[in-house]
Structure 1
Amino acid sequence: MSEAIIITPVKDSLTTTKRTIEAISKARGNFEYYIFNDFSNADTKMYLEQAKKKYNFQLIHLEDITNTPSPNYKLVLQTAQKIAVEKNCPLGIIESDVVIKNDTLSRLINLLNTKEKPGLVGAITVDESDNYNFPYNFEKIKNADVLNTSHSLSFCCTLISAQFLKEFNFTLLSDNKDWFDVFISRQSKKLGYNNYLAKGIEVLHLPHSSRPWKNLKYKNPVLYYLKKIFLKRDRI
């Protein structure tokens, strides 16, 4: 029986996607791995088709089930929740710009099984210099604490408990948003669950590789917010 369902949504960013998949293939633990290809270009799609047997993952092309343009994160979450609930497993999300370690998943699963009423359990993200980085750069002190946090957990590398998945149906997610980590984190707390940030479980994060335009937020914030408002991008 699987300990978790693990998913990675993919939208191009082939260089980081390859690193993400290879790292997950080496991870310890008994889990099923699904990749959701969200209308990636031909090169990315061809790589995923070639890699699925080598790395033992199940590949879902969203173009086969929807005509809605990318991003289709709501559909990804709804489909993955259904799989996880049917198998009575937690759902793990590892983004395509994240590189985990061999013991990342086993340690997160252990926390999920031992902490009090967990809703979400997340690994903290670091840059290539091993410093905490986006979206957890509000943490300034390096240590191995596991925080019962009121901050929202990012879906960079996060497990969602099976119990919470049964209690909150992702069909209720808004059609007016693109990303749902903040909302789902808050919903977890609202329903009486605890969200845990594991500062001692570090994963490499290479931010915004699939959405390079989002780097404008730091380089040219005025242009970023103009694009966000008028092009309806990055709706959180």
Structure 2
Amino acid sequence: MGFLRDLLSLVSFLTIYPVPSKYRSLYDAASAFYLSPMVGFLRGVPGFIILTIAGSLPQQFLAGFAIALHIIIQGFLHIDGFIDFSEALLASRFGRDARAIMKDRYRGSYGIASMGLYIALLYSSLSSIDPKLLPVVYLLGEVIHGGSMVICMGLGRVEPYEGLGSVFKRSLSRGRVAISMVVLITLYSLVSLLSLGSLPLYQLVLAILAPVFSAMIANRVLGYVSGDVAGFSGEASYVFFMISWVSI
């Protein structure tokens, strides 16, 4: 029951799926954070089904729908982190305090620009992917997204204050990060082999590089990895993964 309680708490934290209120503990969710690739799979299943059924619709519509579904099912949680950390990175180049910017809830021009660039890259990528591959790629992307956050948090330094990031960071041992990698690779391999009949390793490796570099940059600029950085890592990994499928 402890495992199920922790997993359901993580589902309630990372998705908008309805979960009984007794399974909404932040600390239980943190305990199961290493299972984020599994939650990513659960998050991707509705999109996989809908995109498979609606495969005959115009590709541009499906791309826009996939983006909307990706953002809505996560409850706008990770895209918010992507905007915050992007703005902090860009503004810090001109001498501003990146940590202060991360805590500022108001969106500046850098945040708006980074969001626009993200949507443009994601839309152009999704609308260029073979329609027959799109449902599977969407599902794999969600699995990658979940695993990316764990890798980034595992490589980053802990926040110097009691934020959400520190709660999740302290729950991650090296063993749990390793288990998360096994879960990620297993789900990725099973979905790929069953749906595609092959294992696209190039795309997996490219996507995994995103959280590694995200953690390195955050450690240098902020001195730690926060929840916003983990969200940034997930979204960066997601968009790079989609871009890698354009030429397939």
Task: Name the TM-score, length of structure 2 as normaliser.
Answer: 0.30
* Higher relative strand content: 1
* Higher relative helix content: 2
Higher RCO structure (Cα 8 Å, ≥6 apart): 2
Task: Name the TM-score, length of structure 1 as normaliser.
Answer: 0.31
